[in-house]
Structure 1
Amino acid sequence: MLDYEQLKLQNKPLSRTSECHCNINNFGHKLFDICKKKLNVYIANSRLGSDIGIGRTTCKNVSVIDYLLLSSELFSLVDEIEILDFVPLFCDVHNAIHIVFNSVLSHNEITHDTSQNSTLIKWNDNNRNEFVNTFHKSQDQLINIMNDLENIYTRDTCTQQDIDNVTREINELFQNTAKTTLSKPHYKSRKKPNSKPWYTNKCLSSRKKFHKARKRYNIHKNEVTRKQLLETSKSYKMVTNQVYKNYQFDFEQKLRNKSKKTRERVWENFK
């Protein structure tokens, strides 16, 4: 069976449609060459989701230069693809592409971490001998693990459940030994360092207004909510740009004033 026949079996159109009426340039020909001859992938635009049979433009409402490329096997895993309306906050000229993939895992196969805090036990080389001795003293657990491994080895078949059980027992043995012999667990801090000291409450307030407008537009897509979304996105961008410029200006002034007094203290700002 030829690869493109996989698309026919999935009732996916072989021919593409597009709102773009521009002439194909050299980059377009190179893209087709990569898809057909090298990677054996297909352009999903106009073949899936709400864009099927449309091929909506993705740049300045004129051309299509943003693509989703998929192999024939991956077409069945895409639940949704949509070319979103242009939002200047996200990009200067490009439309965002919304894609939803369908997971091949069932709900029962997905495990969730129910612990409130993720802990990290730090290795202490001074307790190395104590760790080894405590590990060797866990005779009951070691015997159970060895018996399970022996049973798997003597059987003709080995299931995924058998491997998971043995792996869990080994993991528990190491964790219990570490909790007993090593230093107390250190909780990972969830606080993120302030990488943007210039980001003020004014920026945060403008950002909240933008997200509220975006949520309203996602629920009720009409010209009014779209206009509000564009206005809040432009406002947020203007606010952040102005605040950042003011921060840069104040910082430069601070350096100039200090440099007049003493040059050595200037470098304190870069430590």
Structure 2
Amino acid sequence: MSIGCVYIPPENSKYASKDAFEEIEREMVTLRDDEQLCSLIGDFNARTGTLLDFVIPDENLVEVLDENLNDEITDFLYDYQNLISLKIPLKRCSEDKMRPNTQGYKLVEFCKRNNLYITGGRTGSDKGIGKATTKDNSLIDYFIVSSNLFKYIEEYEIIPFDALFSDVHKRIHVKLTTEVTTIEKEKSSHKRKTIKWIEKDKHKFIENIRKNEEKVLDLCNEIESSKKDNHDINRVITSLTNFYSQAAKDSFGTFANKNPIKKNHGAKNRNKPWFNKSCKLKRKQFHSAKYKYNKQKSINNKNSLKRASQYSFKWLSSVKQILDDTGFSFVWNAQGDIKSSDIKKEIKQRLVDQFGQSLSADMTNSSR
């Protein structure tokens, strides 16, 4: 699973970028494995209201793909049905009653293109509410996820505003629970010193910050008064980081991490012979062609989409050959015509018959 942290400046800011979502999408496609669950969390400065963040395929798109539809493409087009099976409401709720802004429309389009879904108003204690994420009652912070990641969300909550953590924003609390495969590496002789948050000692942390708040103000003033080149900004940010780290050490202390280093063996390291790098590349090309066609329904984009949808997996011909050689070609020929349960019954009966014939022949030969 991949988790990305996002900050997009307000659309009226001098730091705003019209291509912010395109840049995030390119980065996500580059880093994300095809089979990997994906999520993004942060301040998108996007007001979406209750705009739909998914697409129900229309007949025109299905007609374009026509006979080239396969399981992979169908799964992508009807991904939203995973929410229905997990009993996640398709319709979101939101306390933010203001009209969606430009970045809000861009966010929902981004979600539609990448099969990502807004969690706010859909799950956890926020289900059916869609609490505002700022003290100004706007909802501009989001946790967006792949559809199959909803089943791992154990807790989702918007924490009440606290000036200690932000001047405007509320915190998003998310707890994910899943099983992972781990291996233990050799223990290092060097024990890393770490700091752990201790809830009962948080007042010490606040006191340590407040008794040196003049230092923080001086650093903030330094940013305002400086020429704001990279060197000055990096130096001030480093000083702020060190200040908060020292306050945490003084408040909670440090301890040696005695736990062995664990490594998660995710889907990215598993190369399937029937779905290799070439297949992954073909699928990315299809998604890219689909995105271009949705943005501009031209003849060229339509033809590109049809070409991109014609790829097939290496194992199809091999599977068909195996079925032919073993006398089960009816399974291939009956695709879509009979239920899978009926196919299982037929396979079981044929195996029983074949085993019975072989056993009878062996008994006859042995009696001679």
Give the structure-1-normalised TM-score.
0.45
When Rg is computed on C-alpha atoms for both structures, the one with the higher figure is 1
Instruction: Please identify which structure carries the higher helix content.
Output: 1
Give the structure-2-normalised TM-score.
0.34
